[in-house]
């Protein structure tokens, strides 16, 4: 078997980023950060295996290659962690803040939000000051939103990035670490302009802002906001209802400038230029039209990257397009597994942390599956049945949506806790129009705009967008359009990913072995269980699992944690609905509930001092404050102890209580210290 694989070793290159990624995944799964000695040993092992690959007997080279790539992945991820290290604010602060606006976007609540660099904060030395700070501008009196490049001053409430809302939950601390964000917060006061914007980012930012405003001035409502989103990345004008409809119809990917938009834009420009040159005989005979079209399409992709703000998803899409267009210029086939693998390797080298992000997982899952499936169809023997020529475009669109939807479904369900039941229908009805009408009309409108002739192109673009948004609202309104899904155990996605990769990449019939990890992952997912009790780090919110679903102790407090808990439960309820469920007995000074024979009392409001002695005698006591005079025998979780542990998950079984803390699950890593 090994000899047969070596004979087909050219087909094994796609496994290079897989093995490198496994090493990166191992690094992020470690419970503690490797020390300098461990890092040196890892890099030394990688070096020895690299030398062994070059000098070992032929049959031993695959072994050395596997160990080399995996150990290199571990070491490279840690090197990346060390190189992006920056100070993190270790306490809550309120005071003056200055910085240069680097990014302008919107928070989850829709408030304008700015990310600042070149930061100055009162009472902090330079070496203690975070490299970047992200502030939401929540004041209703806020004037114009600052522009990228401007230096502003605000008075803000700030703290370090929040720990997970539950043990094993979404780790914003890690995400912020790799973005260089050392503090987050909000301000209710207007910002003060200290210095105007300067530099290249100003020019690009102003072009982006003017293009977005110009589109919305000519195309009204959500249609114009959608056009601005897909062309400039500015989603600030999208209404919440439309965004929710796109999400429920599994069409939210149309809002993010990702591989789909980059591919459609560059593909249209490449085809238009190539066929346009072919219509000019002197040019077609004297210049390599295909290569020049690829080069000019690459320039358009680079401009699109700069115009969109250069977010991580767009950078990843640009790298994929770059690899494919360069392959065309080098007379290589563009859409191959080797090209996809090369793009994945570049992304992982530049940003190893991308491996943990849903965007990376879903985009490369879809691209790999599409290349494999259409490659198999291309290689069918001549005697195989083929559909009539006039049906092939329609079938190709349907098959593309089906393959991409199946490939990304496990990752979308795991990260977003829902499955769009009619997502395939929505994408089949909408994506073809984005590629054949919306994007081409937008490009044509951009070409004609300097001459004042863009109106017909924008009218055609608006017709396509109306259809797309109409499909989103129609599908989202169907009964049972979304199916909530419980969060899987952390071992599920690696198993499913390994099974899918084995199925798509292994070069012989042994790919049938992919059934084992796929089935193991799905079985583990089907057996997933949720904690009986969840407690926030502040102690202000408690959630207890009941037969009717999780009941929450508060109707409004800790809204992010409440939403996260319910989503991870696979529960479609909102916080107010979960609070109204039977379970908690509310009284003056607190609330009480019994879980598996254990009495849990949460102290809050006036009169909690009178409740404390009896609550301590009954069982577990939770308080959103520091309590100094509790009985020594009291089983108390107050803010002092919860700050040390982070959020808690409690499971009660046969009268035995098992407690898991967010700090224990997150481990001793640089972003958790």
Find residue 653's DSSP bridge partners: 656
DSSP 58: G
Choose among 172, 143, 141, 137: nearest CA to 156.
Answer: 137
**What letters, b where the CB count within 10 A reaches 16 and e where it falls short, cover 297-329?**
bbebbeebbbbbbebbbbebbbbbbbbbbbbbb
If pLDDT is split at 50, 70 and 90, which confidence band does 209 have?
confident
Average pLDDT over residues 98-127: 86
- How high is the pLDDT of residue 266? 87
- Residues counted in the chain: 673
Tell me which of 401 and 538 has the higher pLDDT. 538
Helix (H) or strand (E) holding 193: strand 192-195
DSSP 436: I
Is 5's pLDDT higher than 70? Answer: no
Is 444's pLDDT higher than 60? Answer: yes
Least confident of 81-95, 226-240, 379-393: 379-393
Cβ-based neighbour number of residue 236 at 10 Å: 15
If pLDDT is split at 50, 70 and 90, which confidence band does 236 have?
confident
User: Which two tokens mark 13?
Assistant: 């290159």
What is the Cα–Cα distance from 179 to 351, expressed in whole angstroms? 10
What is the Cα–Cα distance from 18 to 69, expressed in whole angstroms? 9
> Token match 């910085």: residue?
99
pLDDT single digits (tens) 447-472:
887 788 888 988 999 999 999 999 99
- How high is the pLDDT of residue 10? 61
- How high is the pLDDT of residue 387? 80
Is 535's pLDDT higher than 90? Answer: yes
The structure's pTM equals: 0.88
- How high is the pLDDT of residue 201? 65
Phi, psi of 208 (to 5 degrees): -60, -45
Least confident of 11-15, 137-141, 244-248: 137-141
What is the Cα–Cα distance from 395 to 248, expressed in whole angstroms? 25
Three-state DSSP string of 489-513: CCCHHHHHHHHHHHHHHCCCHHHHH
Nearby residues of 358 by Cβ (< 8 Å), 6 or more positions away: 411, 412, 415, 416
Nearby residues of 544 by Cβ (< 8 Å), 6 or more positions away: 532, 533, 550, 551, 553, 583, 584, 593, 595, 600
Strand order across the beta sheet in which 585-587 lies: 585-587, 590-595, 598-603, 620-623, 635-637
- How high is the pLDDT of residue 500? 94
- How high is the pLDDT of residue 3? 57
What is the Cα–Cα distance from 381 to 158, expressed in whole angstroms? 64
pLDDT cut 70: percent of the chain above it: 95
- How high is the pLDDT of residue 543? 95
C-beta separation of 156 from 94 below 8 A: yes
Is 141's pLDDT higher than 70? Answer: no
> In angstroms, how far is CA 36 from the centroid of its own chain?
31
Is 490's pLDDT higher than 80? Answer: yes
Is 537's pLDDT higher than 90? Answer: yes
pLDDT single digits (tens) 317-332:
888 888 889 988 988 8
DSSP 379: T
- How high is the pLDDT of residue 459? 92
What is the Cα–Cα distance from 368 to 385, expressed in whole angstroms? 25
C-beta separation of 542 from 553 below 8 A: yes
The mean predicted confidence, pLDDT, of the chain is 87
């Amino acid at each position: 078997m090994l000899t047969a694989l070596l004979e087909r070793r050219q087909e094994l290159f796609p496994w290079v980023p897989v093995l490198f990624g496994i090493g990166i995944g191992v690094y992020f799964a470690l419970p503690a950060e490797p020390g300098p000695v461990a890092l040196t040993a890892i890099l030394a092992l990688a070096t020895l295996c690299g030398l062994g690959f070059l000098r070992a007997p032929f049959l031993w080279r695959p072994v050395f290659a596997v160990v080399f790539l995996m150990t290199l992945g571990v070491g490279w991820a840690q090197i990346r962690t060390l190189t992006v290290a920056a100070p993190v604010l270790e306490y809550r602060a309120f005071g003056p803040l200055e910085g240069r606006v680097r990014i302008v976007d919107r928070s989850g609540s829709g408030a304008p939000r700015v990310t600042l660099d070149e930061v100055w904060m009162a009472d902090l030395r330079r070496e203690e000051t975070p490299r970047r700070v992200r502030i939401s501008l929540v004041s209703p009196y806020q004037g114009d939103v600052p522009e990228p490049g401007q230096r502003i001053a605000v008075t803000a409430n700030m703290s370090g990035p929040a720990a997970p809302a539950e043990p094993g939950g979404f780790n914003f601390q890690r995400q912020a670490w790799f973005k260089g964000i050392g503090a987050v917060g909000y301000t209710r006061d207007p910002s003060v302009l200290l210095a105007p914007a300067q530099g290249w980012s100003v020019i690009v930012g102003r072009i982006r802002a003017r293009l977005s405003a110009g589109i919305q001035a000519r195309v009204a409502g959500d249609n114009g906001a959608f056009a601005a989103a897909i062309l400039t990345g500015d989603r600030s004008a999208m209404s919440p209802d439309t965004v929710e409809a796109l999400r429920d119809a599994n069409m939210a990917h149309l809002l993010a400038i990702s591989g789909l938009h980059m591919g459609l834009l560059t593909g249209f420009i490449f085809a238009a230029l190539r066929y346009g040159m072919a219509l000019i005989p002197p040019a077609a005979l004297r210049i390599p039209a295909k290569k020049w079209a690829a080069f000019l399409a690459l320039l358009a992709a680079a401009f699109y990257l700069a115009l969109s703000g250069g977010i991580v998803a767009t950078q990843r899409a640009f790298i994929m397009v770059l690899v494919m267009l360069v392959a065309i210029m080098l007379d290589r086939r563009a859409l191959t597994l080797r090209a996809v693998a090369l793009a994945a390797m570049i992304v992982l080298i530049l940003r190893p942390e991308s491996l943990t992000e849903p965007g990376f997982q879903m985009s490369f899952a879809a691209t790999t599956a599409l290349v494999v499936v259409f490659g198999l169809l291309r290689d069918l023997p001549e005697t195989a049945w083929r559909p009539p020529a006039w049906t092939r475009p329609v079938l190709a669109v349907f098959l593309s949506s089906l393959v991409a939807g199946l490939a990304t479904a496990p990752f979308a369900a795991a990260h977003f806790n829902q499955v769009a039941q009619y997502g395939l229908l929505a994408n089949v009805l909408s994506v073809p129009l984005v590629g054949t009408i919306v994007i081409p009309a937008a490009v044509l409108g951009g070409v004609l705009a300097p001459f004042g002739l863009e109106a017909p192109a924008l009218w055609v673009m608006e017709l396509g967008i109306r259809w797309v948004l109409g499909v989103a609202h129609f599908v989202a309104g169907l009964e049972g359009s979304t199916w909530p899904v419980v969060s899987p155990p952390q071992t599920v996605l690696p198993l499913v990913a390994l099974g899918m990769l084995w199925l798509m990449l292994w070069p012989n019939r042994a790919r049938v072995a992919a059934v084992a990890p796929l089935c193991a992952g799905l079985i583990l997912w089907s057996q997933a269980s949720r904690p009986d009790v969840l407690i926030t780090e502040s102690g202000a919110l408690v959630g207890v699992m009941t037969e009717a679903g999780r009941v929450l102790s508060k109707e409004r407090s800790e809204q992010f944690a409440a939403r996260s808990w319910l989503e991870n439960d696979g529960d479609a309820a909102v916080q107010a609905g979960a609070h109204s469920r039977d379970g908690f007995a509310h009284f003056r000074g607190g609330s009480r509930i019994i879980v598996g024979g254990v009495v849990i009392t949460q102290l809050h409001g006036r009169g909690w001092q009178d409740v404390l002695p009896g609550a301590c005698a009954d069982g577990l006591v939770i308080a959103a404050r520091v309590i100094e005079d509790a009985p020594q025998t009291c089983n108390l979780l107050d803010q002092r102890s919860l700050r040390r542990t982070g959020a808690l998950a409690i499971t009660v079984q046969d009268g035995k209580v098992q407690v898991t803390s967010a700090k224990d699950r997150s481990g001793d890593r640089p972003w958790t210290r």
